[in-house]
Amino acid sequence: MKSTLKISALILAFAGLTLGAKAQTSTTSTTKTSTSSNGVILSIGVDAGIPTGKLSDSYNWNIGGSVQADLPIAQNLFVTVNAGYNSIQGKKNVAGSGLDATNIQLLPVKAGLKYFVVPHFYVQGEAGAAFALNKSDVGFDKSAAFVYAPQIGYQFPIGGKNFIDAGVRYEASTKFNSNIDDSKVNFFGLRVAYAFGL
């Protein structure tokens, strides 16, 4: 089941990238989408989250940022490419042990699809890899793990082709340590970004 989900997410991401590349090489006239833009949309955002599962035993929350490009491929449908930084903040005195958890620093790189169901409201799915920037400090034996993130969001128009893009997602990874089942980094996240059309 888990393998099927991972394979499906990768196929979706690669299909989106292929369609995006095809759309860039063909000259078609597109009508305006529900984002009031018929071109590329860039966004710069702040990310925050709350760890879930076993991760929440040793970590309180995460903070970071990301940049994203939305490339139109059809009416209301975009290919997304996203890169960012997450710092998952460790708890002090974990479970009364007197030990502090070391912050986990990740660099996630994802691609996927964003579809506007109604004007300004979208569903988005992305998959990719999260790279551990301090793997030896936190006891990981892998430098990267597969990551996927389903999301819903809303773009609030603020004039012209500019928006405030607010989205809620669940982001999950595979194991960062092959010998420890609880070495997955999973969290509920919020992204608030300034988006502008080109």
Q: Quickly count: other Cβ atoms within 10 Å of residue 62's Cβ.
A: 23
Whole-number Å distance between alpha carbons of 167 and 155:
9
pTM, rounded to two decimals:
0.78
| Residues 85-99, mean pLDDT to the nearest whole number | 93
| Residues 172-186, mean pLDDT to the nearest whole number | 93
pLDDT in tens, 148-174: 999 999 999 999 999 999 999 999 999
pLDDT in tens, 47-90: 999 999 999 999 999 999 999 999 999 999 999 999 999 999 99
pLDDT at 14: 45
Going by pLDDT thresholds of 50, 70 and 90, the confidence category of residue 38 is low
The pairing of beta strand 187-197 with beta strand 104-118: unpaired
pLDDT at 4: 42
pLDDT at 12: 46
Whole-number Å distance between alpha carbons of 93 and 100:
5
- Per-residue burial over 105-138, b if 16 or more Cβ lie within 10 Å, else e, is bbebbbbbbbebeeebebebbbbbbbbbeebeeb
Is the confidence at residue 16, as pLDDT, over 90?
no
Going by pLDDT thresholds of 50, 70 and 90, the confidence category of residue 37 is low
Q: Is 39 exposed, middle or buried (0-12, 13-18, 19+ CB in 10 A)?
A: middle
* 11 vs 98: which has the higher pLDDT: 98
- By the 8 A CB rule, do 139 and 119 touch? no
Whole-number Å distance between alpha carbons of 2 and 10:
13
C-alpha closest to that of 198 among 80, 67, 70: 70
Structural domains of the chain, ranges and CATH numbers in brackets: 2-25+38-197 (2.40.160.20)
